[in-house]
Amino acid sequence: MDCFDKSQPLKRTPVFKKRGLNDGIRFPQGFKIDNRRIFLPKIGWVGFYKSCEIPGKIKNITITNRGGQWFASIQVEQMIEIGNHSSDSEIGIDVGVKCFAAFSDGTLVEGVNSFRKHEERLAREQRKMARKKRGSNNWKKQKRKISGMHHNIANVRQDFLHKLSTEISKNHAKVYVEGLQIRNMSASAKGTIEEPGRNVKAKSGLNKSILDQGWHEFRRQLDYKLFWRGGMLVEVNPRHTSQRCSCCGYTAKENRTSQALFRCQVCGYEENADINAAKNVLTVGRTGMICQANHISGRQQKPAGTREEVLPVAS
């Protein structure tokens, strides 16, 4: 097509919808719902499994096919009264090197192992598919199987993240996490001088996609769940959080004796490296070194300090 100049970024060539990618159809009107069936225009009554009560006013219904199964997403409009959070607890969370996440209260959240098991199975089935003749019946059968496995992995991940984010948003009013935009700028597999090898595990190996997607989705869930309960998710400047001693504030890369262990060269404090970082995230959040440029979902937060300050922990 000539009329679309590819050299100009704003006038992008339109992309056709592709069969099999994000297939779905939305019905903005003309639908009806009772307890066991949905009426869709031009289709008629279709039985469905009502997995939960439908609160609020129904705005539309989207039908999708995932892994050979049909799903109805029902969008509702609902007023939520936001009061004060029942607790005044604060917590810092850091992305784990060896685990999914580390909390400043000393909790390590695993979760990677069960994902790994799924990923290994998936890789095995994908190798099987590669050996089959493309387009053959056996190939199609294997493809359906793999698509089902992807769906299953996504469900396992969603379930894990929802349980975790619900629990945290119930127990803590303020949750501090690293500002991702800043972290991504300096992120590489080897790391920089400032943050040596932080992302080695996350950037390589089987767990990369699962960890990355999981962490983004986890923050998204935490953000809205905290907001609903009157709490708040706050992004902090992640600078030095992995090298600073959460006990005395001494900051040096020598403090990281290994990927997993933090040992302060001054006071001798020893801690799991991820938990030490989570404790720093909490301290940084409390002392107000909040990334001003990073308001999550556009909601108002009140930064109490500037970003570039490095505040040592008083001891």
Chain residues that interact with Zn ion, rule: CB under 5 A? 245, 247-248, 250, 264, 266-267, 269
Q: Are the beta carbons of 74 and 57 closer than 8 angstroms? A: no
**Residue 181: other Cβ atoms inside 10 A:** 11
Please identify, using beta-carbon distances, which residue of 29 and 258 lies nearer to Zn ion. Answer: 258
Please identify, using beta-carbon distances, which residue of 176 and 262 lies nearer to Zn ion. Answer: 262
Please identify, using beta-carbon distances, which residue of 172 and 279 lies nearer to Zn ion. Answer: 279
Instruction: Please report, as a single letter, which amino acid is at residue 94.
Output: D
Q: Are the beta carbons of 185 and 199 closer than 8 angstroms? A: no
Three-state SS at 193:
coil
Closest residue by Cα to residue 91 from 25, 162, 176: 176
Report the nearest approach of Zn ion to the CB of residue 288 (Å).
22
- Assess whether 274 carries a catalytic annotation: yes
Report the nearest approach of Zn ion to the CB of residue 264 (Å).
3
8-state DSSP, 49? -
Catalytic residue, chosen from 94, 119, 223, 235, is 94
Catalytic residue, chosen from 119, 178, 223, 235, is 178
- Assess whether 270 carries a catalytic annotation: no
Please identify, using beta-carbon distances, which residue of 130 and 261 lies nearer to Zn ion. Answer: 261
CA angle 81, 84, 86 (to 5 degrees): 115
Report the nearest approach of Zn ion to the CB of residue 74 (Å).
53
Q: Are strands 174-178 and 90-95 parallel, antiparallel or unpaired?
A: parallel
Three-state SS at 127:
helix
- Assess whether 5 carries a catalytic annotation: no
Q: Are strands 90-95 and 32-33 parallel, antiparallel or unpaired?
A: unpaired
Report the nearest approach of Zn ion to the CB of residue 280 (Å).
11
Q: Which residues contact 281 (CB under 8 A, 6 or more apart)?
A: 92, 93, 94, 104, 176, 177, 178, 236, 238, 241
Query: What are 72's strand-pairing partners?
Result: 63
Report the nearest approach of Zn ion to the CB of residue 152 (Å).
45
Catalytic residue, chosen from 34, 217, 274, 308, is 274
Please identify, using beta-carbon distances, which residue of 221 and 243 lies nearer to Zn ion. Answer: 243
**Active-site amino acid positions:** 94, 178, 274
